[in-house]
Each structure stands twice: as structure tokens, then as C-alpha cells.
Amino acid sequence: MDATPGNYRINVAPILNLTPDLFASALPVSLQNAYVKSIRFGAADVLNTGLRLDRPPDALLEIVIGTNPGMIVGNVIDPNGKAIPDASVVILPETRQRIDFFRAVTSDPSGRFELERVPPGDYKIFAWTEIDRDAWFDSEFMRECESRGTRLHISEGTQTNVSATVIPAP
């Protein structure tokens, strides 16, 4: 690999730069469940931290693609257990730099939701009835809500069932 000294972010196009909604139309069928599991440069994780080169590279760049994501199925409820329709349901990965792992859907009239093609890992799930679109990308806003999310672990090829309690409007 020829590269000059500097800081780099590795992109695996189109997998790392497509939202999950665009996968079906932008990727061949064989890659529609694809996600980047890891990118390593020698012993260093460069997917989450980036790559810093101080001299010509002396290691291989290894990119691992996963194709067996999980799925989350659930319902949104209020604190009394009543189903909440039309709620924004969001999962955020524990490693927040992985915005390609952020997912959002709206609960149906019965309060149910499905999140497909969820890469394995640790997440928190949140639900709101009133929230500005994409507010979950604002770290300050999320800092106020963080303790109200429910932790989830998604394993390869599994379906996780969850009830998400709606968070009152800020």
C-alpha cells in the first residue's frame, strides 16, 4: 500500500456509506445483509479509531465483512404497559462512532416495530412520541436520555424481542 504520513479514515463503499434503507436498491442480493465487522491494520483497530501513518506502512489492512446480521422485534409501551403507536424507535450502538449502526423506525398502529439487518453488537434502544428528526445524532441531547435507554445485545443471525418504554418529551 502506498500512502503518505497522515491520519486516515477507512471507507468500504458502499457498505459504510449507505443507510440501511438504501441497501435493497443499491447492493446486489449477495451483499444486502453485509456490514463491516472489523478493519485492522496489523494489531490496531482502525475502523473505530482511524489510521495514523507516520512512515510507509509495514502491515496489511484487513477488512472483515459480516453477512449474518440480527433482527429486533418489539413493541413500544408507556410506563403502564399500554401500547404506543407512531413512536420513533431508535437503536444506538455502544460504540457511537459507528453511525452506520444507528437504526430508526416508527412503531405501527399497534405499537409494534421491526428493525432488520442489525449488525451484531451491544446497543441501547430508545423510544419517543415527540422528538425532532435525527435528534439522536446530537450527543448533548442523548446525554440527557442515555440512562432511559434499554441495553440490548444482538448476536449474529438471531432475533431479539424487546419492549421499549417511551421516553417523555424533553
Domain ranges of the chain: 6-66, 70-165
Tell me, rounded to whole angstroms, the distance of Cα 149 from its chain centroid. 15
Distance of CA 91 to the CA centre of its chain: 7
How far apart are the C-alpha atoms of 148 and 23, rounded to whole Å? Answer: 30
* Beta pairing, strands 70-77 & 159-165: parallel
What rounded mean pLDDT belongs to the chain?
87
pTM: 0.81
CATH no. of 70-165 = 2.60.40.10
19-58 pLDDT, tens digit per residue, is: 555 555 666 777 778 888 989 998 888 887 888 888 888 8
